[in-house]
Amino acid sequence: MLRQIFILTALISVSFSTHAKEGMWIPTLLQKYNIDEMTQMGFKLSAEDVYSVNHASLKDAVVLFGSGCTGEVISDDGLLITNHHCGFDQIRKHSSVAQDYLKNGFWAMNQSEELTNAGLTVKFLVKMEDITDKMLNKVTDKDENVAQLDTTKQNLERIKKEYLSGSSYSADIKPLFNGNQYFIYIYEVFKDIRLVGAPPVSIGKFGGDTDNWMWPRHTGDFSLFRIYAGKDNKPAAYSPNNVPYHPKKFFKINIKGAKEGDFTMVFGYPGTTQRYIPSQAVHLIMNQSDPAKVAIRTIKLDIWDAMMQTDPKIRIQYAGKYVSAANAWKKWQGEAKGLNRLDAVNVKEKAEREFQEWVMADPERAQNYDSVMEDFERLYTKFQPYQLANDYYTECIQRGSDIFTLAAKLETLETTTDQIKLSTELKKVREYLISYFRDYDSKTDEMVWSALLKKYVENVTPRFLPEKIIKLIPEIGSDKFIGKTYRNSLLTDSVKMNKLLADFDARSVKELQKDPVYALFKLIRSQYQTSAEPTYKSLNSAIEAVQKKYTEALLQMNSGKKLMADANLTLRVAYGRIEGYKPADGVTYKCFSTLKGVMEKDNLDVPDYKIPERLKELYRAKDFGPYINESGEVPVGFCASNHTTGGNSGSPVLNATGELIGVNFDRCWEGTMSDIVYDPDQCRNIALDIRYALFVIDKFAGAGYLLNEMKIVK
């Protein structure tokens, strides 16, 4: 049965529509499933122009930037553009109070001034291939889930070795349709990536959290990097002798502008969607998980925000952490609201009743799938309290405070007995401490640690808490408790920590075990690992097995229809049109924003709406250069009906001839539930108009020399 799924999906036919629908499509399958619809909507290229292993294609200008964004190459010298928020951490790491590139921006005026970024990589996809038969070799429906996982893991390692033999490439193998299909992705990974330019946050993050996930947007969310290679044009570790990489393909930049209704295509690396989860999962997300995580992060973000406003050093230290935490925090709020607006649980339940009717209409289907919906109900009922415990543990303890994150790193030193492994772990921890204390403020973290610890012990079910902690609940959060615990910990002191690690032995382990913060972390962690985590993982594994079976059945039920595989941080194509939407009764949003709108938001009382004086001067003088629309205004952003998600940040937005017209950076607030349920009337991606990026580079920053290496279509 498992192997039949590939055959079924290969037979899926193309359905036509005049407007874009939901979908993040696999590039190798465009010719079969999408190209006719794309052409009907105005696309001028072929499927082979988009993806090819035989000649340079659009895929060769798109990269996986870092570990979770997209970028695109825009010159023959490896110049790359992505979002400002994707390059934010690199910009922040180069910043100091004396040289604040976040506040003031950074622009290299020649290649010698470009800044190196240790650990940053970009990946070019060399090829992708369906390997379902190979991955499911010797896997049968009769195997228990654990046995299936063991077999597929063995197959995975064997297949990777087979594909990478004799090459310097890397490979990822990813499941699609909840494990009913598998693809392998071969990458060429470049490791010398240098910062070229970034506007100040007052442009690159204009609107901040006030406007995040909202339309209309007026942010210049871009940054520039350059890919360097060895003299053979192959990936190489950083060296001053490296040279700019010459790509197989780079995007031409179109500044003629697009108009409402024009075809657009987003080509990038969307992270995660959950389109096939059942009604019980939607209910859990909407009514429990999202609200709990929002409440916890609100506490942390409020503390960070208040402290960042008191000291520029703290602002730089916590800027990256704040942006990352706030992004998901606001998304979860919109997601829950959107799911509720669409009555998503009832919509799912209706579809599930139709599914059950289809199952029972055939004896063989009934034998295979009759128990699926009952299994979901039974498992999610059991899962609910463990999911809540996991959310609280993750948000309050595992990812809550800096000091508990450090405690988790130190735990490996206590448990490692092999001296060679211990030496390796010590090196990792020492390196971690450098960045840790650079971005750590004890007072700020003390407040976060205390508040989240109090939130945890007051909201987690008592059976998931250590007995000692339960007795301490009235005391937790008091100055006395903080004093004898947090302020008495060596984990707050870089000198003491380095001394502890300098000659790490059995006595060091004992000293670590006696540390009040470390001991508290271990106590909480041990209880969670004993009382919650095993059951959480077991139930999650059981749910995944039922989900795989459910998706298998859905593929059969929908044979002959075009179905999207959930996003999994692999290269996908989404296509649509530039178009606005109506978010509420009596409200209509147009699809373009301009520099005029930036000026209209100017408000010194709102930190997110402070505008650089230089930008105001350019606006007053109408010194816009060629970067204007038909009304003589500088375009800033546009929204379109391309289906996107996290990971699509930085993705190229292309016109009908494959030219770059924008850089994707967000979704609208009303469409944040699109990872689960898609609403074609309100789901919109938000993109930076490439003309605004060029205007900022040329007119604002005075780095117009960079435009000389681009191919600009006027």
Q: Which tens digits make up the pLDDT trace of 515-552?
A: 999 999 999 999 999 999 999 999 999 999 999 999 99
Give CA–CA dist 605/666, Å, rounded: 25
Structural domains in the chain plus CATH codes? 4-121+191-274+564-713 (2.40.10.120), 279-541 (no CATH)
pLDDT grade for 417, boundaries at 50, 70 and 90: confident
Mean pLDDT, the chain, rounded, equals 93
Q: Nearest CA to 384 among 275, 178, 535, 525?
A: 535
632 to 578, 597, 624, 649: CA distances (angstroms):
20, 14, 9, 28
Q: Which tens digits make up the pLDDT trace of 355-395?
A: 999 999 999 999 999 999 999 999 999 999 999 999 999 99
pLDDT for residue 18 is more than 80:
no
Q: Which residues make Cβ contacts (< 8 Å) with residue 4, sequence separation at least 6? A: none
Give CA–CA dist 558/560, Å, rounded: 6
Q: CB neighbours (10 Å) of residue 569? A: 20
- At residue 605, the pLDDT reads 85
- At residue 148, the pLDDT reads 59
pTM to 2 decimal places? 0.91
pLDDT for residue 19 is more than 80:
no
Instruction: Please state, for a pLDDT cut of 90, what percent of the chain lies above it.
Output: 88
Instruction: Out of 13-27, 326-340, 398-412, pick the least confident.
Output: 13-27
| Contacts by residues 602-605 (CB-CB < 8 Å, ≥ 24 positions apart) | none
Is the separation of the CB atoms in 128 and 186 below 8 Å? yes
Number of H helices, E strands in the chain: 28, 22
- At residue 147, the pLDDT reads 54
pLDDT for residue 186 is more than 80:
yes
Phi and psi at 413, nearest 5°, equal -70, -35
Averaged pLDDT, 324-328 = 93
Q: Which residue has the higher pLDDT, 16 or 507?
A: 507
Q: Which tens digits make up the pLDDT trace of 226-269?
A: 999 999 999 999 999 999 999 999 999 999 989 999 999 999 99
Please give the positions annotated as active site: 85, 221, 649
Averaged pLDDT, 663-667 = 97
Q: Which tens digits make up the pLDDT trace of 96-130?
A: 999 999 999 999 999 999 999 999 999 999 999 99
Q: Nearest CA to 641 among 615, 670, 613?
A: 670
Which segments of 370-417 does DSSP mark as H helices, in order?
372-392, 402-415
- At residue 418, the pLDDT reads 80
Averaged pLDDT, 494-514 = 91
What stretch of H or E contains 328? Answer: helix 312-341
Give CA–CA dist 711/707, Å, rounded: 8
Q: Which residues make Cβ contacts (< 8 Å) with residue 189, sequence separation at least 6? A: 121, 122, 123, 169, 170, 235
Q: Determine if the peptide bond prior to 278 is cis (ω within 30°).
A: no
Q: Which residue shows structure tokens 């001991």?
A: 519
Q: Which residue shows structure tokens 């499941």?
A: 175
Q: Token digits for 418?
A: 């092999």
Q: Token digits for 515?
A: 């540390």
Averaged pLDDT, 145-155 = 69
- At residue 145, the pLDDT reads 59
Burial of residue 112 (number of CB atoms within 10 Å: 0-12, 13-18, 19+): exposed
pLDDT for residue 666 is more than 70:
yes
Q: Which residue has the higher pLDDT, 146 or 43?
A: 43
pLDDT grade for 419, boundaries at 50, 70 and 90: confident
Instruction: Please state, for a pLDDT cut of 70, what percent of the chain lies above it.
Output: 95
- At residue 343, the pLDDT reads 96
Averaged pLDDT, 327-332 = 95
